[in-house]
Every structure is written in C-alpha cells, then in structure tokens.
Amino acid sequence: MRNHTPVPTPQPGRSTAPPAVRATAAASAAVVALTLAACSTPAAATPGIDDDSVKVGSHQPLTGPAAAGFSSISAATKAYFAYVNDNGGINGRTIDYVVKDDGYNPATTQSVVRELVQEDKVFAILNGLGTPTHSSVLDYLDQNGVPDLFVASGSTTWNQPDEYPGTFGFNADYVVEGAALAQYARDEDPDAVVCVLGQDDDFGETFLEGVELALGADGVASYQTYTTSSEDVTAQLGAMKEAGCEVNLLATINGFTAMALGTAAQMGWSPQWYASSSGGDYPTLVGFLGEEVGPALLEGFVSANYLQNSPGSDWYELFQQINDEYNDGAPFDGNTVYGMSVGYLFAEALAKAGDDPTRESLTEAVESGALVGNGILPLTFGADDHAAYDGVGIAVVTGGVQDFVGATYRVDGDAVAAAEPAPVPLENEGIPTP
C-alpha cells in the first residue's frame, strides 16, 4: 500500500522523519510484511482451501428430466467424501462438497455455477452433469481459472487441452461407447440390421460418429433423435421398426431408454437393445419399467461401462458398505458406483496435488499421468489428452444380473479393437495417498 504523506528527503544512513512517523512506518511495514507472507501461502491465496478443508462444487439435475437416476450421483459422491473425512481426509483436509440443482436447464446451470464460484468460493467444479448444461459454463470456468474436473458427460468437448486447459472428462466419451457397442453387435451378428436412437444434441451426434467408425457410413439403417422436452418416442420407433432394425443402439438417458423399451413392447416389437452407460443402468431401468415387466424386457440388454461395477468385486463391495453407512440406506446401483468413483478420483487428484494444493497443482496432478482411478482399463489423462478412458467393457443382463461378459474394446484414432481388461486393484481401503 502506498503512503501519500510527503516526508523530508532522508540523508544516507539517517532518517529525518519524526519518531512518531518512524514508528508508524515501521508498524505499517510489519503489517505489510505479514500480509504478504500470508498471501504467499497457497492455502490462503487459493479460493476454497484452508488448513483444514477444501470446498468443491457441482451442478446436478436434482429435479427435471434427467433427475431420475442421475440425482443419486452427487449423494453417492458426498457419501464417499464423508467416509474419507471420517478417516482423516486427504493430506489432513476434509472435503466439503456443495451441490446445486440446475434442473438440467443450461440457463439455471449458469446461475448456480456463478454462485458456486463467486459466493461459495469453491476450489474447483467437480462432475458437473450434462452436455447441454455444462457446455453453457465451459467458457466461464476457463476465464476464471477454475479447475473443471471430471465432467459427467461423454462429450468430446471436454477433451480440448489447448482451448480449455482446466477441463477434464470422466466418462468414456460417446464416440468410444458408440464404436464399442457397434463392434460388439457386428462381432455377435455380422448380418444384423443396426439402427440408432439418440438425444438431439452432442450426445446423439458423437455416439453416431462412433457407431459409423465401427460399421461404416452406410452401416446404420435408420438414425432417429428425441428431445428431452417430449416424452414420446412412438414416431421414432415406428420409423426404426419400418426400417427393419434388429439391433437398436441407444444414446439415451435412463428415462428415455426405459421409454424406448416400453414403447416398443406396446408395439409388439422385440429388437435387441444396446445402450450407452449414460442410460444403461439395470436397477434404474427396472425402477422406470416396474418390477412386473422390467426384468423380462431387460433380459439380454447390452450396455457399455468402464467402471468396476461387477457384483462381488472389491470396489463394488466397498462402495456398498459406504452406501449403507453414509448414504442413509439409499438404493445401491450403477449410479452409486459412478458417484463414488468420481469422489475417489478427485480425492486421488487432491492427494497428488501436494500438502498446500493450488488450482494449478491440482490440474497438473491430473495431467501428470499418476492417477489410476478404479476403472477396468487405465486412465488416459495427460498434458495432451483430457479424456479419462479410451475403452469400455460390454455388460449383459442375464437372469436379472448385469455384468461384464469379457468383451472389452478400445478406440485408437479411427480404429476400434478388442482389448484386455486391466481392473485397478483396491488399495488402502479406497482412500488415496500422496
């Protein structure tokens, strides 16, 4: 701070200021020195960080068209953080997770994310959900230097390190999922007529891109789209049935996956169904369809996944225990595994960011390649790659159980090929260490 009070020009080695002025100046200098020292401490200079805690925020569809199923994700993440906090936190800090409802509405997303950044002073945004919603705040977060970690969407938009250096995806992207599901369909039945039903945005478009990567531009007999504002897919399914579709690949959120299967059943039509992980969780779909008809309609249902979602796996059992103890006995399903997996990956990044983490050290930790996550394949994060996974496994519902069948695919450039799964082992009871 500048002192605008004029004082006599000092002589070398001697102050000409009166004693009172000299004392005031000395006191001011001491205050400035202390202030600068405090500001130089990363924990003091970085929003959302103090000696005891770190605050992160998220926008989630707790209400609206994507709420069913997806609204449970942030609760699972918060439950995992409560488990970590009860076991000493990360580098001595507890994690405070602030979640705000955006109703899956981009305009609301913009409002609540500004609140998180400007009023709540969060350290980072974690797992903001939805392609249309999160796209609306991408530039804002970049311009404000807020780490934008592990977006809950498979859009390729999040993988632009030069344009958005602080943004990282979490899901295997929709190109990867579309290509893997299409390749599995071809491997199972090379002559099947394949069609696609997709959401009328980047979700559907990039998923179709992946399907065509595996099958060629003429490999899809019919491509139909839906909008989340219309709860009717009768016309789309009628067109697909007319086209002779035998395998339907779905780029749909859970509610519209269930709607497609239910509508087809009412039409007396029984094609094979393959779905993206974003709309392929068996317990959630049974909840939509009902216990009386859901299990029968979903028998043989195929989906993609990249997390260790197999009943009996170490991660599955740990997350189930955490859910029972910290999540008020909420239903345990794939969305729970997803939410806790996100929490684990953030905790791992925070642990690697150092004892006095900054926003810069957090993003550097993700880019370092040191994170392992808890997937069925290694993470692919790096300085030039902000996507989490380049491959997925194929899961099939058999006898009411959704589990992997041993088919795993990775996408490398314009090629999709079979891969060997490499599940990450559970260590230290699921609490990351530096």
Upper half-sphere CA count for residue 21 (Cβ side, 13 Å)? 10
Question: What average pLDDT does range 81-92 have in this prediction?
Answer: 98
Residues 297-344: tens digit of each pLDDT: 999 999 999 999 998 899 999 999 999 999 998 999 999 999 999 999
The span from the CA of 293 to the CA of 297, in Å, is 6
> What burial letters (b/e) apply to 222-245, b meaning 16+ CB within 10 Å?
bbbbbebeeeebeebbeebbeeeb
Q: Residue 419: helix, strand or coil by DSSP?
A: coil
The span from the CA of 107 to the CA of 114, in Å, is 11
Q: What is the predicted pLDDT for the residue at 69?
A: 76
The span from the CA of 16 to the CA of 403, in Å, is 83
Packing angle, helices 67-86 and 314-326, rounded to 10: 90
Tell me the Cα Rg of the chain: 26
Tokens of 175: 């190109």
Q: Which residue has the higher pLDDT, 231 or 80?
A: 80
Please choose, from the candidates 250, 351, 372, the residue with its C-alpha nearest in 3D space to the C-alpha of residue 301.
250
* Domains of the chain, residue spans: 53-172+309-389, 175-305
Strand partners, 14: 11
* Pairing of β 124-126 and β 53-60: parallel
Whether 395 and 305 have beta carbons less than 8 Å apart is answered as yes
Whether 225 and 236 have beta carbons less than 8 Å apart is answered as yes
Q: What is the DSSP letter of 93?
A: B
Q: What is the predicted pLDDT for the residue at 45?
A: 77
Percent of the chain surpassing pLDDT 90: 85
Query: Could you say which of 3.40.50.2300, 3.80.30.20, 3.30.1180.20, 3.40.190.10 is the CATH number of the domain covering 175-305?
Result: 3.40.50.2300
How many Cβ atoms from other residues are within 10 Å of residue 191's Cβ? 6
Q: Is the pLDDT of residue 270 over 60?
A: yes
Q: Residue 56: helix, strand or coil by DSSP?
A: strand
Do the first three CATH levels of 53-172+309-389 and 175-305 match, i.e. the same topology?
Answer: yes
Q: Is pTM, for the whole model, over 0.75?
A: yes
Place of tokens 């009871």: 429
Question: What average pLDDT does range 216-232 have in this prediction?
Answer: 94
The span from the CA of 136 to the CA of 144, in Å, is 14
What size, in residues, is the chain? Answer: 434
- CATH number for the region 53-172+309-389 comes to 3.40.50.2300
Q: What is the predicted pLDDT for the residue at 130?
A: 93
